[in-house]
Amino acid sequence: MGGTLSIHNTTSIPHTFTSVATGSDGHRLFDVTIEGGQTKTVPAVSTLRDGTYAFFCRFHANMTGTLTVGAGGPVTTSPDFEQPLTLPPRLHGKDIKIVMRKAKVRVLPHGPLTPMLTFNGSFPGPTIVRPTGSNTHVTFVNRLPRSVGAVTIHQHAGHQKSKFDGQPDSHLIRHGKKLTYDYPLRDDGKPLPAALRFYHDHRMDKTARNNWFGLQGMFLTTDRREAKLGLPHGKYDLPLMVTERTFRADNRLTNPFTKMAGMGGGPGMETFGDQVLVNGRYAPYKRVRPGLYRLRLFNSSLFSSYDFALSNGRPLTQIATGSGLLPHPVVRQDILLGPAQRADVVVDFRGQRGDDVQLQSVLPTQGATNGVGLMQFRVRGNPAPRARVPINLATIQHYKVPAKVAKTWRFGLNDHQHWTINGKRFNPRRVDHKVVLGRTERWKLVNTSPFTHLVHLHEELWRTLRRDGHRPPPWERGYEDTWRLDPGESVVVAARFTDFTGRFMIHCHMLDHEDDGMMATFEVVKKR
């Protein structure tokens, strides 16, 4: 067909008009941003084949619709899956050294390598693999270009001294310097629950930029008892870091952060990418055997959420959050994960020999058949060893929680269009709440803004007590570190404050929001 389509944005905030489907090169068939009150034409529309095209707004995932071109009909597009899935190098020692430096890495299947800021030369950085409960020292050395400035490393969902928690504006690693972080991997003398945690830069105002350019890696704590449960393990346990970036024609990453200078933050400044990577590669494939696999799904994007599903319609059996095993498995058709959220699932490829199965991201409003393909599993060969998912996975400690909410944190927007917590932007010199070491507190997190946020609490093993006044869904009944809060939503959480005094962070893990000031400090203090 021919013709043009123009879109008028009658609101005062930006929206995008983005196709769900991508071409075989992974780019969206159409994708335009329309500022508040503006009109834009969508150039690509004139070249679309007849079909029905689902579209959505990247900023507001609940704004969706369909565009019918010509006679309409189903549109199927998917990437070519040209390169194998890779797993980052693994580091197992008690004393680990990681050098941060600029390096060229293979991300896209064709053309030049992509220069990135890396941990030890790879993206994602090396996966740190440690038995839970064993002391681990990681020395991070800053050999990044001088222009990057100082960095700071946070072990997300870890439990460590305040000075080793990745303080945004103190205990920094300056250019040419290093810092050894102590990770005891214990809480109150007991091993932390085994889980897929991760490590990333946390520098004030620069976290989005530093993560975009590559400072992200996985941190896997293991527990031998998990293998005894019969869960798939070893080669049948695949951590998958899913994230998106935008590339220039020469395969370099775009730099979306220059536009930020002097423009303030607020809605519409969020960073998304137009190609989704799994373990640092665009649209990889993995040969698997007919059998059970544990996939550790991890969204490390700056802003976007993915609603994970399998193209064969089989369910994902969720067994863990990013902070440990759930009490019981939960069978789910799709799993929505926002930035920093993780979910361990068991998938079943039995009886699928010869099939190609995609891991997709679908929109909640659509069927699982027309999602975006993120990676492909090629089911081939002999059956995988037997594995199973037991009904009882873990016991969550149900200690007593005071009935009274000790602190309410409200996530909102101020009159100057900046993201805030309780009306304030982040200030590293201000402490927003004090907690006495050894106490248990009940906190309430409330989203008072018209946008979704992903709220992350540092340091403790958090439990979700209520979501919107009700018992949380079964997949939120384990330990948790990051909660999705849609507009108007609230959760009530609790933790025991153990082992360490000092300052820790609470923030939105949409990294542009964090950098814009949607972050606050709580301090654990000794009883006087």
Residues that bind ligand C2O (CB under 6 A): 154, 156, 200, 202, 340, 456, 458, 505, 507, 509
Which of ligand C2O, Cu ion, none has residue 418 at its interface (CB below 5 to 8 Å by kind)? none
Query: Residues with Cβ < 8 Å from 285, sequence gap 6 or more?
Result: 81, 82, 83, 84, 85, 356, 375, 376, 377, 378
**Window 422 to 461, contacts with Cu ion (CB under 5 A):** 453
Cβ-count burial 473-496 (b if 16+ within 10 Å, e if not): eebbbbbbbbbbbeeebbbbbbbb
Regarding 418 and contact with Cu ion (CB under 5 A), the answer is no
DSSP string, 309-340: EETT---EEEEEETTEEEEEEEEES-EEE-TT
Which two tokens mark 457?
A: 């609490």
Which of Cu ion, ligand C2O, none has residue 453 at its interface (CB below 5 to 8 Å by kind)? Cu ion
Q: Which is nearer to ligand C2O, 81 or 199 (CB)?
A: 199
* Residue labelled with tokens 């599903």: 309
Closest contact distance (angstroms) between CB of 524 and ligand C2O is 16
Which residue in 510, 511, 519, 520 binds Cu ion (CB under 5 A)? 510
Which residue in 253, 384, 508, 519 binds Cu ion (CB under 5 A)? 508
269: nearest Cα among 21, 59, 36: 59
Which two tokens mark 168?
A: 């945004």
Is the separation of the CB atoms in 456 and 445 below 8 Å? no
Which of ligand C2O, Cu ion, none has residue 345 at its interface (CB below 5 to 8 Å by kind)? none
H or E element that contains 139: strand 136-142
Q: Which is nearer to ligand C2O, 288 or 340 (CB)?
A: 340
Closest contact distance (angstroms) between CB of 11 and ligand C2O is 31
Q: Which is nearer to Cu ion, 130 or 513 (CB)?
A: 513
Rounded CA separation 482/315 (Å): 23
Closest contact distance (angstroms) between CB of 518 and Cu ion is 5
353: nearest Cα among 284, 294, 286, 289: 289
Closest contact distance (angstroms) between CB of 262 and ligand C2O is 26
Which of Cu ion, ligand C2O, none has residue 159 at its interface (CB below 5 to 8 Å by kind)? none
Q: Which is nearer to Cu ion, 289 or 513 (CB)?
A: 513
Q: How many other C-beta atoms can be found within 10 angstroms of the C-beta atom of residue 87?
A: 14
Which of ligand C2O, Cu ion, none has residue 156 at its interface (CB below 5 to 8 Å by kind)? ligand C2O
Closest contact distance (angstroms) between CB of 391 and ligand C2O is 32
Dihedral sign (CA 512, 515, 518, 521): positive
Q: Which is nearer to ligand C2O, 77 or 216 (CB)?
A: 216
Which residue in 342, 513, 516, 521 binds Cu ion (CB under 5 A)? 513
CA 28 to chain centre: 21
Main-chain dihedrals φ then ψ at residue 46, nearest 5 degrees: -65, -20
Amino acid in the structure at residue 254: T
Closest contact distance (angstroms) between CB of 53 and ligand C2O is 35
Which of Cu ion, ligand C2O, none has residue 130 at its interface (CB below 5 to 8 Å by kind)? none
Which range in 38-46, 294-302, 502-510, 520-528 contacts Cu ion by CB under 5 A?
A: 502-510
Q: Which is nearer to ligand C2O, 202 or 477 (CB)?
A: 202
Closest contact distance (angstroms) between CB of 507 and ligand C2O is 6
Regarding 58 and contact with Cu ion (CB under 5 A), the answer is no
Closest contact distance (angstroms) between CB of 36 and ligand C2O is 30
DSSP string, 146-206: GGG--B-EEEET----GGGS--SSSS-B-TT-EEEEEE--EETTEEPPPEEEEEEE--TTT
Closest contact distance (angstroms) between CB of 419 and Cu ion is 6
Binding site for Cu ion (CB under 5 A): 453, 508, 510, 513
